[in-house]
Amino acid sequence: MTLRVLFVDDEPNILDGLRRTLRPLRREWDMRFAGGGAEALTVMAAEPVDVLVTDMRMPGMDGDELLARVRRQHPLVVRMVLTGQCTREAVLRLVPLAHGVFSKPCDPDVLTAAVRRACALRDLLHSPPLLALVGRLGSLPTPPVLYTRILAELERPDGSIAEIGKVVAGDVGLSAKLMQMANSSMLGLRRPVPTPAQAVQVLGIETTKALVLVSEVLTRYDPVPLRPFSIDDMWDHSRAVATLAGRIAHAEAGSGAAAEARLAGLLHDVGRLALASQQPESYKAVLGAAGRDGAQLIAAEREVLGATHAEVGAYLLGLWGLPPALVEAVALHHDPTRCPDSGFVPLVAVHAAEALLAPDEGGPLSAEYLERLGLGDRLARWAELRDGGEQAGGGG
C-alpha cells in the first residue's frame, strides 16, 4: 500500500533536498510538501495523510503546535520530527507529541524504517476489535502527574534518587506500594525499608517508574471479583520478565538497552491490570476459559474479548505518550513477527524473557523472528541467563 507522507518545513531548499533524497521511495510513498504549519493543516483537511514529517522551528506555527493539533484532529497520523537543532529538553517535550525525532540530515533508510515501524504499530493499535474493546472499557486512566515529575527530576543535572523519593512520598498510596515491594521477602533484605526514598533506592528507577505509571490503574483494582487472580503474582511475574529481559539486552546490546528492556518488561502486562480493574466479570470469564480448555491466556482473551492484554496495554501506553519502542514491546511481545524492525529492540528481550519464563501464557519463542534478526543461535545462552542468576546477566 502506498503511504501518503507530508513533509513540512519553512525553508524551500530543505523541501527541495527532501524531494531529491527521497526520490527512490516514490513508488512506496506518495509525498506532499508544505511550507508551514498552517499550510500543512490545510493540506490534511483537503485529503488525509498517513505520515507527517515536520521541522520544529517555523514562523507562525511552530512544530510543537502543529504536532499537538494533528494529534488532536488527526489521531491516526504517524507524527515524525526532522530537525536541525533539538536540545535534550526539546526531545523530552516531544515524547507525547511525536512517534520519532530525527536530526538533519537523516539517512533515508533510517527514516523509512522508522515510518514503516510506526505505521505497523498504528495499524495494530487501531484495529476495529481493539477499538471496540477499548470502547467497552469506558474511561481509561490518565497518565499520572507523578510520572512527569519523576522524568523531570531524572533529567536535572543534579537530579537524585533521594529527590525522586521525596516526589513519590507525596502520594500516600503509591508510597505504601513501593515500601511493600521493597520490604517483600523476595528481595531478602536484612533490615526493613522505612521510607519511600529508601524504597526507591532499593527498587531502582525502572521499577519505580513502572509502578508510578500503573498507579492510576491500581486505584481501580478490586481483588475480590477476580480471585484467585492475584495482582501480586502478576507483578512478581512482571519483575521476573524485566530482570531476564534486562540480562538478555545487556548481553546483546549493552547497559543502555538493558534499562529500556527492564522497563518494557515491567510494563508488558499492564493491559491485564487494565482489563482486570475495569471489566472484572469479563476477565474472570477469560481466566475460566484458559483454565477450562487448557488454552493459552492470549488465545482465551482474543476468543472472549476480541483483543488481547498486550494490545490493550500498548494502546494505554501509547495514549500516555510513552516511547514507541516501549509501546511496541508491550504490543507485540507475544507476536513479534509483526514487527518490521531488523535490529535488536526491547521487543526482542521481552518476547524472549516471557517465552522462557511463561510459555503457557502466550506460546513458545518465535524461532522465525529470531532467525530473521540473525539471533537464531542465542536461545541456549538466554536460557543460561534465566537459570544462572545475576552473574550470568551482567546487569539484571
Three-class HEC string of 144-162: CHHHHHHHHHHHCCCCCHH
Q: Which is it for strands 3-8 and 51-54: parallel, antiparallel or unpaired? A: parallel
Least confident piece of the model among 78-87, 98-107, 153-162, 259-268: 153-162
Alpha carbon distance 189, 187 (integer Å): 6
- The CATH architecture annotation of domain 3-126 reads 3-Layer(aba) Sandwich (3.40)
- The mean of the pLDDT values for the chain is 80
Q: How confident is the model at residue 176 (pLDDT cuts 50, 70, 90)?
A: low
Task: Please choose, from the candidates 193, 201, 153, the residue with its C-alpha nearest in 3D space to the C-alpha of residue 176.
Answer: 193
Considering 37-46, 54-63, 218-227, the range whose residues carry the highest mean pLDDT is: 37-46
How long, in residues, is the chain? 396
Q: How confident is the model at residue 392 (pLDDT cuts 50, 70, 90)?
A: very low
- Taking the model in full, what pTM does it have? 0.65
Q: What's residue 218's pLDDT?
A: 61
CATH 3.40.50.1100 fits 135-393, yes or no: no
Beta carbons of 164 and 174 less than 8 angstroms apart: no
Say which amino acid occupies 177: K
Domain-wise residue ranges, the chain: 3-126, 135-393
Residues 6 or more apart in contact with residue 57 via CB below 8 angstroms? 63, 83, 85
